[in-house]
Amino acid sequence: MNHQGFLSFFLTAGCDNFAQAFKRSLVAAVWFVFLTFPIMVIRVNTIEKTVHWHWERMGYIAVAVFFGSFIWRWLLARKELKKDESKEETRVESLLTRVQSHPILKYSALVILAGMAAVFPKVFDLYQTNIMISCLLYIVLGLGLNIVVGLAGLLDLGFVAFYAVGAYAYALTNMHWGINFWYMLPVGALLGALLGVLLGFPVLRLKGDYLAIVTLGFGEIIRLVLENWGDVTMGPSGISSIDRPALFGIELGVIGSTHYMYYIMIGLMILTIFSVNRLQNSRIGRAWLALREDEIACQAMGIDKMKTKLMAFALGATWAGMAGVIFAAKTTFINPASFTFWESAIILSIVVIGGMGSIRGVIAGAVILILVPEYLRDFAEFRMLLFGAIMVLVMVFRPQGLISAKRKIYKYKTNTAGAPNE
Amino acid sequence: MDYFLELFLGGLTRGSIYALIALGYTMVYGIIELINFAHGEIYMIGAFTGLIVAGLLTMLGFPGISILAIAVVCAIIWAAAYGYTIEKVAYKPLRGAQRLSPLISAIGMSIFLQNYVMLSQTSDFLPFPELIPEFGFMEGLGSIMSSSELVIILATVAACIGLTLFIKFTKLGKAMRATAQNRKMAMLVGINVDMVISATFVIGSSLAAVGGVLIASHIGQINYFIGFIAGIKAFTAAVLGGIGSIPGAMLGALVLGLTEAFATGYVSSDYEDVFAFCLLVLILIFRPSGIMGKEKTQKV
């Protein structure tokens, strides 16, 4: 499409002519000004009997909606046009694919990445390293939830419950019996898996929306219990001075243990990526994908639905349990406020925005959603607002996420023609 | 006995509020099979609109009862407008997509609306003026029931009756039932399905807004966060009664309200919200179709 054609398509997308497009945008702007009028413009204080007017916000809304509605219609029209064509790759994706398909490029890219990861804490300061640790933590959590939501298609809104269980398990055992981090890491994973099976067993009969709500309910029950069972969990005040992991019995200082934690996280992330990758292409992984696509057809093919679902739940929860232990060791303080529904929502949006079922997508999602708001401190208060908006926009315009998942394609080695490759 | 009666009436009030919100859930679910996660936020926005309007009118010196009426009307107008817009922006482009997509979009919308209100108003608890005046004839009953409780219960009963009649006898109500039954067929017989869906959102949102203003005036404070818990509870009520069924939503709300009131009164008030969630989990596990819902056989 030439330049002129693109501009006119952009301006009149979804409308007959320019005048109609202009009118529609104007109507949208007026409508949104009306819609946001009381909440955005007026602020009443009923005690001091004062009213604050923010008239300027009306102008912002009008301008933003007027221009935004052109973009909205253009994106919708583009999506409609593309519907018939096969899924197109974005530039980033095709670059990634190209890098991956050349062994030399692939390994050199991996070596560069590994080198960068190894020297990161030496180059950057403690603050940066800490942010990186939490980003890595979210990658692990995202990949764990990705097993449940992305691969098996079970919407779990209470994922943070498993995370909380891991964190509290380490915090409590450490506080009472002084148990070491390294002993608790596998125990946390095991507890996560166990709880996953326990929760999964009754609720996995439910489908789609109902499953989402029940898992949300479970997540909230766990949080409320942590908050109210003061004798054991210390209630809302939480548990403090949890031990950091020690290196072969040597106590490290703050800087040393942060660096140590960073390398532990890198190791765990590699382990997670490796395991999820292997799982994805295994028998159970393909059963998950089949389950996600069509439950009934999947059963007809002789897949044990219950076992497959339980497996997804348990394996997803395993990573959450481990991440929980690490979270407790990293922050040395936990309380129920870290395990609200919103935490689940953040992890879910990492998976959804990155690309459900795609490992690279989840990593990209975590980097974008955790790192970007950290560096844009001024935007920090808008973080959740943007999360919500991005979740809606991604679902509307790019339901497969930023980096869509690709099935592994098996090919016959022989050159006989017409080999099926799905 | 007085304690029992007090708990009973408290449960009735809670149940009424849940019913007003649950009707919106159940109507939307009945028509497009979507859990409208943002519905709780509509309730919250209704309450905030009520607060803003009531605050302005009090400062202008309007008489008591007219403030209530105007606040409720304004809350209905804006909540309905939000419901309409949300459907157009977040759900309509997703019709025909995978089932997970609109649900995630709804969660995103809910997060967005909460933070939108938090940023443009405040994250503090705001005091809400008492809009419902004490009635003279209530003096004898004063110890067990306040006039605002009476108003809430009566408003819910009126809304339920009105809605049932509306769905049964009006043209739009019939179109709604037809769309709920089979959307494609409804389209074939000339029903404007888009319009019906919009109308459903508008009606559901209006009921939630009434609930928002009344409960805020009853409790006396609001916060950007109130929609989340109220929404989950109302959803529980809708599921309890059988989602998609209007009398079911009312019954479910009543059961939930009474259960909560008695459980917090006789067991422990620390675990107030846990009871609702436990009830939800139990119901979904043992009778996923709810008290009045019908089992659906799945076609291949």
Strand partners, A334: A239
Residue B264 has pLDDT above 50, yes or no: yes
Between A67 and B62, name the one with better pLDDT. A67
Per-residue pLDDT of chain A (422 residues; tens, 9 = 90+): 456 677 777 777 777 778 888 888 888 889 998 888 888 888 887 777 778 888 888 888 888 888 888 888 888 888 777 765 545 566 666 777 777 777 788 788 888 888 887 777 777 777 888 888 888 999 999 999 999 988 888 888 888 999 999 999 888 888 888 777 788 888 889 999 998 888 888 777 777 677 888 888 888 888 888 888 877 777 777 787 777 777 666 666 777 778 888 888 888 899 999 998 888 888 888 888 888 888 888 888 888 888 888 999 899 999 999 999 989 888 888 888 888 888 888 898 888 888 888 888 888 888 888 887 777 766 667 878 888 888 888 888 887 777 877 766 666 666 555 545 44
Q: And the tokens for A117? A: 């990861």
Residue B275 has pLDDT above 50, yes or no: yes
Instruction: Tell me how far apart the alpha carbons of residues A105 and A108 are, in angstroms, rounded to a whole number.
Output: 5
Q: What is the predicted pLDDT for the residue at A419? A: 46
Whether B107 sits inside 8 A of A391 (CB atoms) is yes
Interface probe, candidates A39, A69, A78, A293, chain B, greatest B C-beta count within 10 A: A39
Residue A43 touches chain B, beta carbons under 8 Å: yes
Q: What is the predicted pLDDT for the residue at A421? A: 47
Q: What is the predicted pLDDT for the residue at A249? A: 62
Residue B140 has pLDDT above 50, yes or no: yes
Q: What is the predicted pLDDT for the residue at A76? A: 84
Which of B35, B127, B300 lies closest to A46 in CB terms?
B127
Whether A388 sits inside 8 A of B110 (CB atoms) is yes
Q: Which residue of B has its CA nearest to A32?
A: B85
Q: What is the dihedral of CA A150, A156, A158, A163, to 10 degrees?
A: -30
Between A412 and B209, name the one with better pLDDT. B209
Whether B271 sits inside 8 A of A209 (CB atoms) is no
Whether B52 sits inside 8 A of A46 (CB atoms) is no
Whether A396 sits inside 8 A of B274 (CB atoms) is no
Q: What is the predicted pLDDT for the residue at A237? A: 77
Q: And the tokens for A19? A: 């005048």
Query: Side chain identity at A337, as an amino acid letter?
Result: A
CA distance B225 to chain A (A): 12
Taking Cα atoms as reference points, which of B282, B242, B215, B265 lies closest to residue B18?
A: B215
Residue A348 touches chain B, beta carbons under 8 Å: yes
Contact A370, A386 (CB under 8 A): no
Instruction: Tell me how far apart the alpha carbons of residues A200 and A317 are, in angstroms, rounded to a whole number.
Output: 10
Q: And the tokens for A74? A: 């253009």
Query: Side chain identity at B62, as an amino acid letter?
Result: F
Average confidence (pLDDT) over B73-85: 93
Residue B75 has pLDDT above 90, yes or no: yes
N- to C-terminal Cα distance for chain A?
34
Strand partners, A109: none
Highest mean pLDDT among A175-189, A232-246, B263-277, B282-296: A175-189
| Residues of chain B contacting A35 with CB distance shorter than 8 Å | 78, 81-82, 85
Q: What is the predicted pLDDT for the residue at B137? A: 61
Contact B261, B14 (CB under 8 A): yes
Residue A183 touches chain B, beta carbons under 8 Å: no
Interface probe, candidates A46, A73, A384, chain B, greatest B C-beta count within 10 A: A46
Q: And the tokens for A312? A: 């997804």
Instruction: Tell me how far apart the alpha carbons of residues A154 and A207 are, in angstroms, rounded to a whole number.
Output: 8
Q: How far is CA A209 from CA A385, B87, B123, B243, in A?
A: 23, 18, 30, 12
Q: What is the predicted pLDDT for the residue at A142? A: 92
CA distance A258 to chain B (A): 33
| Residues of chain B contacting A294 with CB distance shorter than 8 Å | none
Taking Cα atoms as reference points, which of A134, A122, A375 lies closest to residue A255?
A: A122
**C-alpha torsion sign, points B151, B155, B158, B160:** negative
Whether B94 sits inside 8 A of A396 (CB atoms) is yes
Q: Which residues contact A114 (CB under 8 A, 6 or more apart)?
A: none
Q: What is the predicted pLDDT for the residue at B296? A: 58
- What are the b/e assignments for A271-301, b being 16+ CB within 10 Å? ebbeebeebbeeebbebbbbbbeebeebeee
Whether A214 sits inside 8 A of B284 (CB atoms) is yes
| Residues of chain A contacting B59 with CB distance shorter than 8 Å | 44, 49, 51
Tell me the count of A-B CB pairs closer than 8 A.
176
Q: What is the predicted pLDDT for the residue at A229? A: 80
Taking Cα atoms as reference points, which of A384, A376, A351 lies closest to residue A366?
A: A351
Residue A396 touches chain B, beta carbons under 8 Å: yes
Q: Average model confidence (pLDDT) for chain B? A: 84
Which of A35, A44, A381 lies closest to B81 in CB terms?
A35
Residue B287 has pLDDT above 80, yes or no: no
Residue A47 touches chain B, beta carbons under 8 Å: yes
Instruction: Tell me how far apart the alpha carbons of residues B27 and B109 are, in angstroms, rounded to a whole number.
Output: 19
Highest mean pLDDT among A123-132, B99-108, B250-259: B250-259
Whether B105 sits inside 8 A of A216 (CB atoms) is no
